[in-house]
Structure 1
Amino acid sequence: MIPRLKAWWRMFDTFTQRCLAVSVVLAIVASACLVQLVNVQLLDGRTTAEAATNSRTSKVTLSAKRGRILDTNGTVLAQSVERYNIIGVPDAATSFTPVTCGSKQAKSLGYCHAIDDKPVGATGAAAVARLLAPLLGMDAMELGAKLNGTNQYVVLKKEVTPQVKREIDKLNLGGIVYGELSSERVYAENTLIGALLGGVDDEGKGASGLESSLDDELAGTDGYTVYQRGNGGEVIPGTVTKTQEATDGKDVSLTIDADVDWYVKKVLSEGVSAQHAQWGVAVVQDVQTGEIIALEDSDSIQAGSDEAKLGSSRAVSQTFEPGSVGKIPALAAIMQSGVKITDQFTIPYEMEKDGQKFHDASSHGAEHWTLAGILQNSSNVGMITAAANVTNQQRYDMLCKFGIGQSTGLNLPGESNGVLTSPESWDTRSKETVLFGQGYTVNALQLTRAVSVIATGGINRQQSLIKSVSTSNGKQTSKLNTSATRVIDENTANEIKNAMESVADRWNKVINVSGYRIAMKTGTAEVAGDSGALTSIVADTVGFLPADNPRFVVTVVMKDPAGVHGGTTAGKVFAQIGEFLMQKYDVPNSAERTDAIPVEW
């Protein structure tokens, strides 16, 4: 066979032999290509098509808009506004060539690239950076470094405004640079409940304050869309394969009245400054509903700031001994044991009991005071005398019923319950000092709740800070807590209220609201200073008005004020807040007082 082929081959000249050899090689190559084509089209066709589709497929997150936080009247305290994260595609940027203005290409495309009507002067990532840097307010070299590579995704700048995003779109950098919808959390101006509102983290999730505790309601759920994109990054029509709409977060309305809170913040800060105090806290509560109308402190913390994200509101977290304001629940315990508000006592300036010495704030002789007079004159010795038959357990139980040492139920981040130890742990001194607000601690919300028990006629009404939650379609769900528990009978509460009004009469030259009767109690307590010794003072004033038809409970607390006494320091701010409340809510003037309980005998 081989000799015949050789003989046949020799029949052709050299040129023909070469042509035949080339033909054979081409035939082999063509056959190989045909085999591969069959393999690709028939055997691997689906895999290849899927790979091509996957390379063009994008899944874009549709960000849910975070719900707003509103005050009780609908004033926006926190909201998310439209923003964009600017994304670069380094792989596309490195092959970018600017379109020269005036060129045939520019005329064909309908656009060109220039900087101040001059050529870009570069290609690739450097050219993209030069075009983009002025709009983003960034250094071109820094941008160029981010865009130089083979990645498909790099964040160039977060949270730019829609206006900036539109200017970037005009650069005609499709497929290289684009905007990804995001949002920015913005808050009411100034420092309105800044630390209480808190802030969100870089991912838009609640990091502190109400933003954190209400995150489940505010956050919403992101959606997505899946589509195929062209070489320029544009959506190929008809290729959207799956879409899940985003569900926006719910709006949350607070019980806070922004107008009242603003005024409370103003006068509290001015009062702290005038008294050279370390800090101040103030609370306003609606007697009828338990709603917190204002909750402020003197700290200047802007919501959303790093300070707001790292800390908590002093109005919630700060605890202190209430001082003589603590005589109110103690008076209830004394009266529940059988002592009447009109019972008569002879009270010296000081006394000794169980080896412990006690005295009043100011020196005096043997005074003839009723139980109402003991409260009016804020006598420590008088409280100990009147409580002779009140057991430790009864004292403790009444404090608990007034909410001392108990959670407010508001579930606020950083909130402290204060400290109230069991009666078994009380020594011979502390069992007496609890009668005048020493030996336990509270926060301002707890102290407000305690005094509100008298304003409500003996009922401990649950406080509320969250008014309602509403969805995007406007449907609202009330979140007000309407639970209430009777603590003392109405007659006892009214008699204590009467005695508290006598306290206000005593302070009338300093603390008064023209046209309105006030029921109140002041307090001053020695507390530990920076050294740990009892070198600091907490001065407070808590009360409600009008006394004859209670509408609001107001609490003002100051740390180390120059005036020392609660009446002359916190009391002045109390009166300013009370006057504002009466005017804003157009509260009718009080009737003349005609039923004052005797304070002396």
Structure 2
Amino acid sequence: MRGERRGGMPRHLPVAPPLGNGRFYFILIVFCVVACILIGRITLLQVIDRPFLQSQGDARTLRHEAIPAHRGMITDRNGEPLAISTPVVTLWANPQELPEDGIQRVMLAQALGMSPDDFEARVELYSSREFMYLRRQMTPQAAQRILDLRTPGVYPQREYKRYYPAGEVAAQILGVTNVDDMGQEGLELSYQPFLAGHPGQRRVIKDRRGRLVRELGVIREAQPGGDLVLSIDQRIQYMAYRELRAAVAKHEADGGVLVMMDARTGEVLAMANLPSYNPNNRTGLDPRGLRNQALVDVFEPGSVMKPLAMAAILESGIVDRDAVVNTSPGWMRLDQFTIRDFRDYGELTLAGILEHSSNVGMSRLALQLSDTAIWEKYNQLGLGQSPGTGFPGETTGSLPAPVRWSRSERAALSYGYGLSVSAVQLASAFTALANGGMRLPPSLLRLSEPPQGLPAIEPAVANDLLNILETSVAAYTGGRRARVEGYRVGGKTGTVRKSGQGGYTTDAYRSVFAGIAPISDPRIVTVVMIDHPKAGEFYGGAVAAPVFSSVTGNALRLLDVPPDHEVDE
């Protein structure tokens, strides 16, 4: 056969000629270039671009999450909570990750308390974004019921919500926070940096859907806010608000204010305002209720200023303690103005002038003084100046400078017209009578030790006036309804005409009472103002004095102040 040698031995097939040297080296070079490219690329990725690539990878998986800081608690002087923060859950969603399934969307909308149409409209509005709120500040239990639906694209966020146990009773002094737990009003605003604290931060790894894969550790611990201890006594605050509300309702008034201060320290034990609001539910909020009228609103005080003006008269040395003033015929003309008393009281002692609240008697005494004597005394008592409580928007009041005053203006100042004060300023001024002539600035925070006080009235004069104030609430006076069973109290009524566009009105009044108790060893100073009572009675002795009596009596017993007088009914 062909291809075989004879004898049966196979014949060798022809061998292909070897590759040419050029082709071999070409292939070798190609392999080397590819290897170099691969090595270079690996080097570029692993060495040169490693930090950048790692940062890009971390940016897609590594997260820095904030750890919310617990807002500090606000308590009363006895440690009772007035404002606390509770943990809540906010639900948010990535609209681009929400399921297309209509049934899942309807179930989610119903769980959120939304109609399907409203939910779809909201999703459409945020469709180009990766974040939208579903529901803010839910209770953990309510939020968990929604999370149990396991709807893709829905995530929780831990937050805190402010809660006020006292509700409307102390709303204006505390203020409120917004949905982001930032102070907006009152002490929540003025002490925002102290209460807020500092949020922490932690590192976590999340997948592309935002789900937590692993926690890498805490970068910075959250620092909770500081706790604020107020001077307010919650027990007295509740009583003050209750009695003030009852008086406003009884007399169909527009509102009212009550301020009670510790006569030894200047600490504000109670500060009630009406109208008010519930800070835990602000639906239908009356904007008037937001104002802390005791600190930010002013009014002409009227006759409650007479004991303070009398201090300037006694210190002048022009008249002595036993002087007698003729107030007949019960009126007088000054600069084309007529100053009137309730009736013709005839001759009155200084005590009688205060007991009967004689405008004529005060005017005749004031006109014997220098032009600036009463103004200087009011200025020493802190009127026309900031109270210094740190409360946002606290007013300075108005005490016009004595420039070219007429005789009628000087007289009006002595019986409480021509100036304006806040309830807190008035209470602070009366601490000078209760504290041996030393005026105490008001404090909304509990003090560790009593302040020095500011000299405002000569001690002997302050003691004389304190005793005169006790006679001003005697059984036969207009202030008799301010008496407290078992305690010696003193005070002064005021009935002030409200001013309008055309001057003073004849049918709108403010009823005021400022008092001190007990007289033997003063412990508290209380100011009550009822705005525009319309149910018939409007005199300070009939409207404001009974509120003083009720609140002061209960407060003295709560503070364990021993009785110093037996009332003979």
TM-score (norm 2): 0.85
Secondary structure of the residue aligned to 1:59 is: strand
Q: Cα gap change, 1:530/1:557 in structure 2, threshold over 3 Å: closer, same or farther? A: farther
In the alignment, is residue 159 of structure 1 matched against residue 128 of structure 2?
no
Task: Report if aligned partners of 1:260, 1:581 keep a CA contact under 8 Å in 2.
Answer: yes
In the alignment, is residue 546 of structure 1 matched against residue 518 of structure 2?
yes
Q: Which amino acid aligns with 1:67?
A: G
Task: Report if aligned partners of 2:438, 2:457 keep a CA contact under 8 Å in 1.
Answer: yes
* 1:49 positional shift: 3.2
Match among 323, 330, 350 for residue 371 of structure 1: 350
Q: Which amino acid aligns with 2:221?
A: E
In the alignment, is residue 494 of structure 1 matched against residue 463 of structure 2?
yes
* 1:55 positional shift: 1.0
In the alignment, is residue 254 of structure 1 matched against residue 227 of structure 2?
no
Distance 2:367 2:85 in 1: 60
Q: Pairwise CA RMSD of aligned residues?
A: 3.1
Secondary structure of the residue aligned to 1:527 is: strand
In the alignment, is residue 194 of structure 1 matched against residue 199 of structure 2?
no
Secondary structure of the residue aligned to 2:457 is: coil
In the alignment, is residue 579 of structure 1 matched against residue 553 of structure 2?
yes
After superposition, where does 1:386-397 map in structure 2 within 5 Å?
Answer: 386-397=365-376
Match of 1:403 in 2: 382
Match among 504, 525, 530 for residue 473 of structure 2: 504
Distance 2:274 2:306 in 1: 27
Q: Cα gap change, 1:125/1:47 in structure 2, threshold over 3 Å: closer, same or farther? A: farther
Distance 1:312 1:428 in 2: 36
After superposition, where does 1:57-136 map in structure 2 within 5 Å?
Answer: 57-91=62-96, 93-94=97-98, 123-124=99-100, 126=102, 128-136=104-112
Distance 2:101 2:194 in 1: 43
After superposition, the C-alpha distances for 1:504-538 in whole angstroms (9 at most, x for unaligned) are 11246533211111111111122213665433212
Q: Which amino acid aligns with 1:218?
A: L
Q: Cα gap change, 1:363/1:84 in structure 2, threshold over 3 Å: closer, same or farther? A: same
In the alignment, is residue 344 of structure 1 matched against residue 324 of structure 2?
yes
Q: Cα gap change, 1:451/1:48 in structure 2, threshold over 3 Å: closer, same or farther? A: closer
Q: Cα gap change, 1:128/1:62 in structure 2, threshold over 3 Å: closer, same or farther? A: farther
Secondary structure of the residue aligned to 1:158 is: strand
Secondary structure of the residue aligned to 1:495 is: helix
Secondary structure of the residue aligned to 1:547 is: coil
* 1:386 positional shift: 2.4
Secondary structure of the residue aligned to 1:467 is: coil
Task: Report if aligned partners of 1:159, 1:183 keep a CA contact under 8 Å in 2.
Answer: yes
Task: Report if aligned partners of 1:135, 1:164 keep a CA contact under 8 Å in 2.
Answer: no
Distance 2:229 2:401 in 1: 38
Secondary structure of the residue aligned to 2:488 is: coil
After superposition, the C-alpha distances for 1:12-66 in whole angstroms (9 at most, x for unaligned) are 9xxxxxxxxxx99x98998787875565445544433332222111121111111
Distance 2:184 2:215 in 1: 41
In the alignment, is residue 534 of structure 1 matched against residue 518 of structure 2?
no
Task: Report if aligned partners of 1:347, 1:368 keep a CA contact under 8 Å in 2.
Answer: yes
Match of 1:482 in 2: 451
After superposition, the C-alpha distances for 1:111-153 in whole angstroms (9 at most, x for unaligned) are xxxxxxxxxxxx5464653453343323345445538857443
* 1:207 positional shift: 1.0
After superposition, where does 1:316-335 map in structure 2 within 5 Å?
Answer: 316-335=295-314
Secondary structure of the residue aligned to 2:184 is: strand
Secondary structure of the residue aligned to 1:226 is: strand
Distance 1:42 1:460 in 2: 76
Q: Cα gap change, 1:190/1:201 in structure 2, threshold over 3 Å: closer, same or farther? A: closer
Match of 1:108 in 2: none
Distance 1:483 1:213 in 2: 25
After superposition, the C-alpha distances for 1:322-376 in whole angstroms (9 at most, x for unaligned) are 11111111100000111222122322134546544544432225x2322122111
Q: Which amino acid aligns with 1:184?
A: K
After superposition, where does 1:435-474 map in structure 2 within 5 Å?
Answer: 435-467=414-446
TM-score (norm 1): 0.81
Q: Cα gap change, 1:133/1:376 in structure 2, threshold over 3 Å: closer, same or farther? A: same
Q: How many residues align?
A: 531
Further displaced range: 499-508 or 145-154: 145-154
Match of 2:4 in 1: none
After superposition, where does 1:36-51 map in structure 2 within 5 Å?
Answer: 39-41=44-46, 43-51=48-56
Distance 2:289 2:203 in 1: 38
Q: Cα gap change, 1:451/1:238 in structure 2, threshold over 3 Å: closer, same or farther? A: closer
Match of 2:292 in 1: 313
Match of 1:111 in 2: none
In the alignment, is residue 139 of structure 1 matched against residue 89 of structure 2?
no
Q: Which amino acid aligns with 1:138?
A: M
Match of 2:3 in 1: none
Distance 2:117 2:143 in 1: 21
* 1:167 positional shift: 3.1
Identity %: 28
Further displaced range: 536-545 or 524-533: 524-533
Secondary structure of the residue aligned to 2:242 is: helix
Match among 148, 164, 172 for residue 170 of structure 1: 148
Match among 267, 271, 274 for residue 243 of structure 2: 267
Task: Report if aligned partners of 2:332, 2:360 keep a CA contact under 8 Å in 1.
Answer: no
Distance 2:330 2:336 in 1: 11
Distance 1:316 1:358 in 2: 33
Secondary structure of the residue aligned to 1:303 is: coil
Match of 2:257 in 1: 281
Distance 2:464 2:169 in 1: 38
Task: Report if aligned partners of 1:349, 1:381 keep a CA contact under 8 Å in 2.
Answer: no
Distance 2:566 2:368 in 1: 36
Q: Cα gap change, 1:319/1:251 in structure 2, threshold over 3 Å: closer, same or farther? A: same
Q: Cα gap change, 1:407/1:37 in structure 2, threshold over 3 Å: closer, same or farther? A: closer
Secondary structure of the residue aligned to 1:90 is: coil
Q: Cα gap change, 1:137/1:592 in structure 2, threshold over 3 Å: closer, same or farther? A: closer
Q: Which amino acid aligns with 2:54?
A: A
Task: Report if aligned partners of 2:267, 2:443 keep a CA contact under 8 Å in 1.
Answer: yes
Q: Cα gap change, 1:53/1:276 in structure 2, threshold over 3 Å: closer, same or farther? A: closer
Further displaced range: 276-285 or 504-513: 504-513
Match of 2:21 in 1: none
